[in-house]
Amino acid sequence: MTTTTSGGKRTPAPPASAATRRRARPDRKAWRFLAPFLAVYVFAMILPILYALYQSLLRVERSGPLGLGEPSVGFAGLDNYALALQQTAFLEGFGRVLLFGAVQVPVMLLLALTLALLLDQVSDRWASLMRAAYFLPYGIPGVIATLLWGFLYVPGISPINDLLGDMGLQPDFLGYDNVLWSLANIVVWEFAGYNMLVIVAQLKSIPQELYEAARIDGAGPWQTALRIKIPLIRPALVLTCVFSIIGTLQLFAEPLVLKKLAPAVTTDFTPNLSAYFDAFANANVYLAAAKSVLLAVVAMVLSFGFLSLVGRGRKGGDR
């Protein structure tokens, strides 16, 4: 069908419509290839999000003696959102993860970038070995990593504490003022290698001619790194940064596991933890849904905000 109409139109068609026609046909095929992905995506992402949105508007209504009678579900409007936003501890959780991200993300990415640039300099044989070594922590599940580090933090068990104790220091890694940074340390340890790998991949794609040209122009290793490599791996840096921002907001497994060892990790320590306890310990899925939606909105605003910020920066630079 398309062939006959397009055949008839071929001669008078202006270039613009030819372009749209050329795009239209692959579109349909693309949809067919995308269908399996989209089906799973709709089922595992879109539907749960819609369901959470819906649930966040509900509440349980109780009756009977002391409310222990048969409960029913009713429409709550935005009450759950109001309730969540009234909980100072929940809002403090946002403050905490933002502070965490403001420190941890730059530190981790700087570390990842440094490692990637160094690996780019050493010979190939050692590079692959070291790359694997740096990447290894990422292969360890967050829960296990936190357990491992937990033992290194708990006073009375930790060899680090003992060692520092011998030097006359009394570190309290799990105390109220420190536990956030102890957590940051675990996350850096886990993900620096992963982010390094993303950056390394982009470094590998830089054509060798650029380096040769730079060398001929008299650039040393420092200048090559600063003037050639870093500008060219900017997309990888932006990507890792966005992932890290989202990951930071969704901080969950690490504080949950550390909570067992550190009372300083409160039930509202991160927004995700707060939603989790509301949903499953406190059996209030509707409030938890509202909190999750709020968290998603903040994550979206921050991620897209960051993207548009760097996007605008780049356009300005190109001109």
Question: Which residues contact another protein (rule: CB under 8 A)?
Answer: 31-32, 35, 42-43, 46-47, 50-51, 54-55, 58-62, 64-68, 70-73, 83, 89, 151, 154-157, 175-177, 260-261, 263-264, 266-268, 277-278, 280-285, 287
57 or 130: whose CB is closer to another protein? 57
54 or 304: whose CB is closer to another protein? 54
Q: Which residue matches tokens 């390094």?
A: 196
Question: To the nearest whole angstrom, how small is the minimum distance from the Cβ of residue 98 to another protein?
Answer: 20
Q: Within 10 A of 272 (CB to CB), how many other CB atoms are there?
A: 20
138 or 173: whose CB is closer to another protein? 173
Q: CA-to-CA distance for 31 and 42, rounded, in angstroms?
A: 14
Element (H, E) at 14: none
Q: CA-to-CA distance for 267 and 135, rounded, in angstroms?
A: 31
Question: To the nearest whole angstrom, how small is the minimum distance from the Cβ of residue 218 to another protein?
Answer: 57
Q: CA-to-CA distance for 23 and 17, rounded, in angstroms?
A: 10
Q: CA-to-CA distance for 192 and 124, rounded, in angstroms?
A: 21
Question: To the nearest whole angstrom, how small is the minimum distance from the Cβ of residue 51 to another protein?
Answer: 4
How far from the centroid of its chain's Cα atoms is residue 276's Cα?
A: 18
Question: To the nearest whole angstrom, how small is the minimum distance from the Cβ of residue 117 to another protein?
Answer: 40
Q: CA-to-CA distance for 216 and 211, rounded, in angstroms?
A: 9
Opening angle at CA 106, ends 100 and 111, nearest 5: 120
Q: CA-to-CA distance for 53 and 145, rounded, in angstroms?
A: 33
51 or 181: whose CB is closer to another protein? 51
Question: To the nearest whole angstrom, how small is the minimum distance from the Cβ of residue 148 to another protein?
Answer: 13
71 or 313: whose CB is closer to another protein? 71
5 or 121: whose CB is closer to another protein? 5
Q: Contact, 272 vs 295, CB < 8 A? A: yes
Question: To the nearest whole angstrom, how small is the minimum distance from the Cβ of residue 74 to another protein?
Answer: 9
